[in-house]
Structure 1
Amino acid sequence: MHTLIALLRAVNVGGTSKLPMAELRAMAEAEGFGAVRTYIRSGNLVFETDRGQDHVKTALETRLEAYAGRPVGVILRTAEEMSAILAANPFPDAERSKVGVLFLDAAPPPDTCDAAKWHADEEIALGTREVFVHYPSGMGRTKLRLPAMADGTMRNVNTVAKLADMVGRRE
């Protein structure tokens, strides 16, 4: 068994795509995943499984689409990856709530920073399969748009730290 973190894309944001976390836990348990937990209402799922990531991703996305009536993207990370992402934060002195991590399935395109639109005071740095963004004026105030945002899901560093802690306690 290994622990995985599933990050759902575009659920419980701005009053659209409501997914109660009890429903998400029930879906994961129905797939046979163990030690299923959620964190806040934005689609953060922690669980144990002996299945491969491709199988897990497909199973969750299939159940979520059946529930929501539309595709819901799922991005997976292992416990080790989540800890490494937290350690790799290129903005360690910034307020954690003002640093976002855009999680992607693949490496961000090399032109991610150049492709930014409506860029103001934000700082952008590329990770392995993530894009880190420091929002000095706050995440809620930004107009920044990155093409990679269409394929990923953002979490602030406080959430990343909590998820790393949750999986760290189970390993």
Structure 2
Amino acid sequence: MTTYVAFLRGVNLGPHRAVSMPRLVELAEGLGHEDVWTYLRTGNLVLTSTQAAGTVERGLARALEEEYGTTTDVTVRTADQLRALVADNPFPDGSASQVTVTFLTADPPPGLEDRLAAMATPAEPYEVHGREVWVRFGDGLARSRLAAGLSKVVGVSATTRTVGTVAKLVAGIDKRAG
């Protein structure tokens, strides 16, 4: 069994994208996943499964579409990947609420670095590590042009979380594992 975190993009950010977290747990359990729980109301789902990550992604996306009638992008990472990611944070001195990691569902397209450079300010250093894009929003996310357009800039389906949220997910997984 592998422990995964499924990150749902854009849920519970408005009345038209509402996803019940208890119902999300039921949907995941109905797909055969175990030890299912959520963190926050923003679409962070933890589960264990014998299925491969891609199968978990597709199954959850399909179940959400059937349940809610709308397409929801789902990005899955293993608990081990997330532990390594937190340990390798390229901006360890940044605030946990201002350092973000954007999870891509596919390899980044050519030219991503150039597109990021065109939008980022000097207070927004970034790094691309495989299928993750790290950004330290030194002036905060609220007024950042890069934060507002990052999911379009990366060119593939993606969802962003603060490093604080990812670290808390890892801590929760480790605590439950005992």
- CA displacement at 1:104 relative to structure 2: 0.7
- 2:32 is aligned to 32
- 2:165 is aligned to 159
- 2:23 is aligned to 23
> What CA distance in whole angstroms lies between the structure 2 residues aligned with 1:110 and 1:160?
27
> What CA distance in whole angstroms lies between the structure 1 residues aligned with 2:31 and 2:100?
30
Whichever structure has more helix as a proportion of its residues is 2
- 1:127 is aligned to 129
Once the two structures are superposed, the pairs formed by residues 55-94 of structure 1 within 5 Å of their partners are 55-94=55-94
CA separation of 1:66/1:155 partners in 2, compared to 1, >3 Å: closer, same or farther? same
SS in structure 2 opposite 1:114?
Answer: helix
> What CA distance in whole angstroms lies between the structure 2 residues aligned with 1:53 and 1:118?
32
The 8 Å contact of residues 113 and 124 in structure 1, kept in 2 or not, is answered as no
> What CA distance in whole angstroms lies between the structure 1 residues aligned with 2:114 and 2:79?
31
TM, length-normalised to structure 2:
0.88
The 8 Å contact of residues 98 and 134 in structure 1, kept in 2 or not, is answered as yes
Give deviations 1:88-128, integer Å, cap 9, x for gaps: 21100011100010001223235323103543331111112
> What CA distance in whole angstroms lies between the structure 2 residues aligned with 1:149 and 1:43?
21
- CA displacement at 1:71 relative to structure 2: 1.2
Percent of residue pairs identical: 38
The 8 Å contact of residues 108 and 131 in structure 1, kept in 2 or not, is answered as no
> What CA distance in whole angstroms lies between the structure 2 residues aligned with 1:70 and 1:47?
22
> What CA distance in whole angstroms lies between the structure 1 residues aligned with 2:46 and 2:67?
19
> What CA distance in whole angstroms lies between the structure 2 residues aligned with 1:134 and 1:127?
14
The 8 Å contact of residues 36 and 45 in structure 1, kept in 2 or not, is answered as yes
> What CA distance in whole angstroms lies between the structure 2 residues aligned with 1:162 and 1:40?
10
Gaps of 5+ in 1: none
> What CA distance in whole angstroms lies between the structure 2 residues aligned with 1:108 and 1:73?
16
Q: Which amino acid aligns with 1:122?
A: E
The 8 Å contact of residues 28 and 60 in structure 1, kept in 2 or not, is answered as yes
CA separation of 1:6/1:67 partners in 2, compared to 1, >3 Å: closer, same or farther? same
Q: 103-112 vs 148-157, which deviates more?
A: 103-112
The 8 Å contact of residues 102 and 149 in structure 1, kept in 2 or not, is answered as no
Give deviations 1:22-80, integer Å, cap 9, x for gaps: 11111111112111110001100001111222221221011111122121111110111
